[in-house]
Amino acid sequence: MNRVAVVTGAARGIGAATVCGLAQAGWSVVAVDRANDDPRLPYAMGTRTQLDELVSRAGALGGDPHAVVAHVADTTDAAALAAAVAVAEERFGGLDAMIAVAGVIAGGVPLWEMPTDQLDAVIDVDLWGPIHAARVGVPALLRRVAPRNGRFLAVASAAATKGLPQLAAYSAAKAGVAGLVRGLAADLAGTGVTANAVCPGSTDTAMLAESARLYGLADTAPFADQQAVGRLLEPEEVAAALVWLAGEASGAMTGAVIPVDGGLSL
Protein backbone atom coordinates (compact mmCIF):
# COMPACT_ATOMS: atom_id res chain seq x y z
CA MET A 1 0.00 0.00 0.00
CA ASN A 2 1.29 3.44 -0.90
CA ARG A 3 1.92 5.48 2.24
CA VAL A 4 0.54 9.01 2.43
CA ALA A 5 1.64 12.00 4.51
CA VAL A 6 0.57 15.56 5.20
CA VAL A 7 3.51 17.83 6.04
CA THR A 8 3.05 21.39 7.32
CA GLY A 9 5.60 24.16 6.98
CA ALA A 10 6.55 22.61 3.66
CA ALA A 11 7.73 25.59 1.63
CA ARG A 12 11.26 25.67 3.04
CA GLY A 13 13.60 24.46 5.76
CA ILE A 14 12.94 21.24 7.65
CA GLY A 15 9.44 20.95 6.18
CA ALA A 16 10.71 21.08 2.60
CA ALA A 17 13.48 18.61 3.36
CA THR A 18 10.93 16.25 4.94
CA VAL A 19 8.70 16.37 1.87
CA CYS A 20 11.68 15.57 -0.35
CA GLY A 21 12.80 12.72 1.91
CA LEU A 22 9.35 11.18 1.96
CA ALA A 23 9.00 11.48 -1.81
CA GLN A 24 12.35 9.76 -2.31
CA ALA A 25 11.13 6.96 -0.05
CA GLY A 26 8.06 6.45 -2.25
CA TRP A 27 5.46 8.35 -0.24
CA SER A 28 2.64 10.47 -1.59
CA VAL A 29 2.61 13.85 0.15
CA VAL A 30 0.32 16.83 0.62
CA ALA A 31 2.75 19.69 1.17
CA VAL A 32 1.08 22.38 3.29
CA ASP A 33 2.22 25.94 3.87
CA ARG A 34 0.54 29.27 4.61
CA ALA A 35 2.59 30.65 1.67
CA ASN A 36 2.14 34.18 2.95
CA ASP A 37 3.65 36.45 5.57
CA ASP A 38 2.28 36.67 9.11
CA PRO A 39 1.64 40.35 9.84
CA ARG A 40 2.41 39.74 13.52
CA LEU A 41 6.03 38.80 12.77
CA PRO A 42 8.87 40.95 11.42
CA TYR A 43 10.43 38.41 9.06
CA ALA A 44 9.32 36.75 5.84
CA MET A 45 7.50 33.43 5.78
CA GLY A 46 7.71 30.89 2.97
CA THR A 47 6.09 31.87 -0.32
CA ARG A 48 3.79 30.20 -2.81
CA THR A 49 6.65 30.20 -5.30
CA GLN A 50 8.84 28.28 -2.84
CA LEU A 51 6.02 25.83 -2.18
CA ASP A 52 5.45 25.18 -5.87
CA GLU A 53 9.18 24.77 -6.49
CA LEU A 54 9.37 22.32 -3.60
CA VAL A 55 6.54 20.25 -5.03
CA SER A 56 8.27 20.07 -8.42
CA ARG A 57 11.60 19.15 -6.84
CA ALA A 58 10.11 16.48 -4.58
CA GLY A 59 8.07 14.98 -7.41
CA ALA A 60 11.20 14.65 -9.51
CA LEU A 61 13.13 13.06 -6.66
CA GLY A 62 10.41 10.49 -6.15
CA GLY A 63 10.03 9.80 -9.85
CA ASP A 64 6.33 10.68 -9.89
CA PRO A 65 5.37 14.32 -10.50
CA HIS A 66 1.82 13.60 -9.33
CA ALA A 67 2.78 12.09 -5.95
CA VAL A 68 3.37 15.46 -4.23
CA VAL A 69 0.76 18.20 -4.23
CA ALA A 70 0.73 21.70 -2.76
CA HIS A 71 -1.98 22.88 -0.41
CA VAL A 72 -2.12 26.41 0.99
CA ALA A 73 -3.39 26.49 4.58
CA ASP A 74 -2.68 28.37 7.78
CA THR A 75 -1.86 25.80 10.44
CA THR A 76 -3.59 27.92 13.08
CA ASP A 77 -6.88 27.30 11.23
CA ALA A 78 -8.19 23.84 12.06
CA ALA A 79 -10.69 23.88 9.20
CA ALA A 80 -7.95 24.72 6.70
CA LEU A 81 -5.82 21.84 8.00
CA ALA A 82 -8.81 19.52 7.84
CA ALA A 83 -9.12 20.42 4.16
CA ALA A 84 -5.50 19.34 3.62
CA VAL A 85 -6.24 16.00 5.27
CA ALA A 86 -9.27 15.65 3.00
CA VAL A 87 -7.00 16.13 -0.03
CA ALA A 88 -4.80 13.28 1.21
CA GLU A 89 -7.76 10.97 1.65
CA GLU A 90 -9.57 11.90 -1.56
CA ARG A 91 -6.54 12.03 -3.85
CA PHE A 92 -4.33 9.33 -2.37
CA GLY A 93 -6.80 7.10 -0.53
CA GLY A 94 -5.98 7.75 3.13
CA LEU A 95 -3.45 9.11 5.58
CA ASP A 96 -0.53 7.34 7.26
CA ALA A 97 1.51 10.21 8.71
CA MET A 98 0.56 13.68 9.93
CA ILE A 99 3.78 15.67 10.33
CA ALA A 100 3.57 19.09 12.00
CA VAL A 101 6.73 20.99 11.08
CA ALA A 102 5.49 24.58 10.69
CA GLY A 103 7.04 26.93 13.23
CA VAL A 104 7.97 30.54 13.87
CA ILE A 105 10.20 32.36 16.29
CA ALA A 106 9.98 35.71 18.04
CA GLY A 107 11.40 37.26 21.17
CA GLY A 108 14.77 38.85 21.62
CA VAL A 109 13.52 40.50 24.81
CA PRO A 110 12.38 39.22 28.21
CA LEU A 111 8.91 37.68 28.12
CA TRP A 112 7.30 40.61 29.90
CA GLU A 113 8.57 42.98 27.21
CA MET A 114 7.51 40.85 24.25
CA PRO A 115 4.86 42.47 22.02
CA THR A 116 1.53 40.72 22.51
CA ASP A 117 1.00 40.09 18.81
CA GLN A 118 4.36 38.32 18.54
CA LEU A 119 3.60 36.28 21.66
CA ASP A 120 0.27 35.26 20.17
CA ALA A 121 1.95 34.27 16.88
CA VAL A 122 4.46 32.02 18.63
CA ILE A 123 1.83 30.23 20.73
CA ASP A 124 -0.63 30.02 17.83
CA VAL A 125 1.79 28.53 15.30
CA ASP A 126 4.18 26.57 17.50
CA LEU A 127 1.66 25.02 19.90
CA TRP A 128 -1.86 25.41 18.55
CA GLY A 129 -0.64 24.42 15.08
CA PRO A 130 0.45 20.92 16.20
CA ILE A 131 -2.67 20.61 18.37
CA HIS A 132 -4.89 21.37 15.36
CA ALA A 133 -2.81 18.96 13.26
CA ALA A 134 -3.45 16.23 15.81
CA ARG A 135 -7.16 16.95 16.08
CA VAL A 136 -7.73 16.72 12.32
CA GLY A 137 -4.96 14.27 11.45
CA VAL A 138 -5.30 11.54 14.06
CA PRO A 139 -8.92 10.68 13.15
CA ALA A 140 -7.77 10.19 9.56
CA LEU A 141 -4.90 7.98 10.71
CA LEU A 142 -7.41 5.91 12.64
CA ARG A 143 -9.62 5.57 9.57
CA ARG A 144 -7.00 3.26 8.07
CA VAL A 145 -8.15 -0.33 8.48
CA ALA A 146 -6.45 -2.22 11.32
CA PRO A 147 -3.77 -3.43 11.63
CA ARG A 148 -2.45 0.05 10.90
CA ASN A 149 0.88 1.87 11.20
CA GLY A 150 -0.16 5.50 11.58
CA ARG A 151 2.25 8.18 12.70
CA PHE A 152 1.68 11.59 14.26
CA LEU A 153 4.95 13.54 14.31
CA ALA A 154 5.77 17.05 15.45
CA VAL A 155 8.85 19.22 15.51
CA ALA A 156 9.62 20.55 18.97
CA SER A 157 13.04 22.05 19.73
CA ALA A 158 16.02 21.80 22.02
CA ALA A 159 14.28 24.78 23.62
CA ALA A 160 11.64 22.35 24.91
CA THR A 161 14.07 21.17 27.58
CA LYS A 162 16.82 23.82 27.60
CA GLY A 163 16.03 27.37 28.67
CA LEU A 164 17.17 29.83 26.03
CA PRO A 165 17.52 33.52 26.92
CA GLN A 166 14.87 35.89 25.58
CA LEU A 167 12.89 33.03 24.06
CA ALA A 168 10.59 32.07 26.94
CA ALA A 169 7.42 32.00 24.84
CA TYR A 170 9.09 29.86 22.18
CA SER A 171 10.43 27.51 24.87
CA ALA A 172 6.98 27.25 26.43
CA ALA A 173 5.34 26.40 23.11
CA LYS A 174 7.91 23.76 22.25
CA ALA A 175 7.68 22.21 25.71
CA GLY A 176 3.95 22.04 25.06
CA VAL A 177 4.62 20.07 21.87
CA ALA A 178 6.65 17.56 23.88
CA GLY A 179 3.75 17.17 26.29
CA LEU A 180 1.32 16.89 23.42
CA VAL A 181 2.98 13.84 21.87
CA ARG A 182 3.31 12.12 25.23
CA GLY A 183 -0.39 12.60 25.92
CA LEU A 184 -1.35 11.51 22.41
CA ALA A 185 0.76 8.38 22.77
CA ALA A 186 -1.24 7.45 25.85
CA ASP A 187 -4.54 8.17 24.11
CA LEU A 188 -3.50 6.09 21.09
CA ALA A 189 -2.37 3.01 23.01
CA GLY A 190 -3.24 -0.18 21.17
CA THR A 191 -4.46 1.53 17.99
CA GLY A 192 -1.39 1.04 15.81
CA VAL A 193 -0.93 4.82 15.64
CA THR A 194 2.08 6.34 17.42
CA ALA A 195 3.00 9.91 18.37
CA ASN A 196 6.56 11.22 18.58
CA ALA A 197 8.48 14.48 18.35
CA VAL A 198 11.97 15.50 17.32
CA CYS A 199 13.90 18.34 18.93
CA PRO A 200 16.26 19.99 16.44
CA GLY A 201 19.22 22.06 17.48
CA SER A 202 20.49 25.06 15.52
CA THR A 203 19.61 24.19 11.94
CA ASP A 204 20.49 26.25 8.87
CA THR A 205 17.06 27.69 8.12
CA ALA A 206 15.38 31.06 7.72
CA MET A 207 14.15 30.74 11.30
CA LEU A 208 17.71 30.45 12.58
CA ALA A 209 18.64 33.54 10.61
CA GLU A 210 15.82 35.35 12.42
CA SER A 211 17.15 34.01 15.72
CA ALA A 212 20.54 35.55 14.92
CA ARG A 213 18.87 38.88 14.22
CA LEU A 214 16.98 38.71 17.52
CA TYR A 215 20.26 38.24 19.37
CA GLY A 216 21.96 41.04 17.45
CA LEU A 217 24.35 38.67 15.65
CA ALA A 218 25.77 39.38 12.22
CA ASP A 219 25.07 35.80 11.08
CA THR A 220 24.24 32.32 12.35
CA ALA A 221 27.84 31.12 12.72
CA PRO A 222 28.04 31.61 16.52
CA PHE A 223 25.23 29.08 17.02
CA ALA A 224 27.52 26.32 15.75
CA ASP A 225 29.82 26.76 18.74
CA GLN A 226 27.00 25.71 21.11
CA GLN A 227 26.69 22.25 19.50
CA ALA A 228 28.96 19.30 20.19
CA VAL A 229 29.24 18.57 16.47
CA GLY A 230 30.78 22.02 16.01
CA ARG A 231 28.55 23.08 13.14
CA LEU A 232 25.02 23.98 12.20
CA LEU A 233 22.72 21.13 11.24
CA GLU A 234 21.29 20.82 7.75
CA PRO A 235 17.50 20.56 7.36
CA GLU A 236 17.97 17.21 5.65
CA GLU A 237 19.54 15.76 8.80
CA VAL A 238 16.46 16.54 10.88
CA ALA A 239 14.20 15.42 8.04
CA ALA A 240 15.95 12.05 7.91
CA ALA A 241 14.82 11.38 11.48
CA LEU A 242 11.26 12.38 10.65
CA VAL A 243 11.20 10.18 7.55
CA TRP A 244 12.38 7.19 9.58
CA LEU A 245 9.88 7.88 12.34
CA ALA A 246 7.12 8.07 9.73
CA GLY A 247 7.97 4.59 8.48
CA GLU A 248 6.74 1.24 9.69
CA ALA A 249 10.10 0.37 11.29
CA SER A 250 9.53 2.91 14.09
CA GLY A 251 6.53 1.08 15.52
CA ALA A 252 8.22 0.38 18.86
CA MET A 253 8.54 4.10 19.59
CA THR A 254 5.72 6.26 20.90
CA GLY A 255 5.62 9.21 23.26
CA ALA A 256 9.29 9.83 22.49
CA VAL A 257 10.84 13.29 22.31
CA ILE A 258 14.04 12.72 20.40
CA PRO A 259 17.01 15.13 20.28
CA VAL A 260 18.30 15.70 16.76
CA ASP A 261 20.34 18.63 17.97
CA GLY A 262 24.02 18.10 17.33
CA GLY A 263 24.57 17.91 21.07
CA LEU A 264 23.05 21.30 21.89
CA SER A 265 21.15 19.83 24.83
CA LEU A 266 24.15 18.14 26.42
Average pLDDT over residues 108-113: 97
What pLDDT was estimated at residue 266?
85
Summary mean pLDDT of the chain: 97
| Per-residue pLDDT at 89 | 98
- pTM here is 0.98
Mean pLDDT value across residues 203-232 = 97
Radius of gyration of the chain (CA): 17
Res 2: pLDDT: 87
Tell me, yes or no, if 43 is annotated catalytic.
no
Q: pLDDT, tens digit, for every residue of 14-46?
A: 999 999 999 999 999 999 999 999 999 999 999
Domains of the chain (ranges; CATH) run 4-260 (3.40.50.720)
- Which tens digits make up the pLDDT trace of 51-95? 999 999 999 999 999 999 999 999 999 999 999 999 999 999 999
Give the mean pLDDT of 215-237: 97
Catalytic residue among 170, 210, 246, 257: 170
Q: With a cut of 70, say whether residue 259 has pLDDT above it.
A: yes
Question: Which tens digit of pLDDT belongs to each residue from 114-170?
Answer: 999 999 999 999 999 999 999 999 999 999 999 999 999 999 999 999 999 999 999
pLDDT at position 11 over 80:
yes
What local confidence, expressed as pLDDT, does residue 1 receive?
67
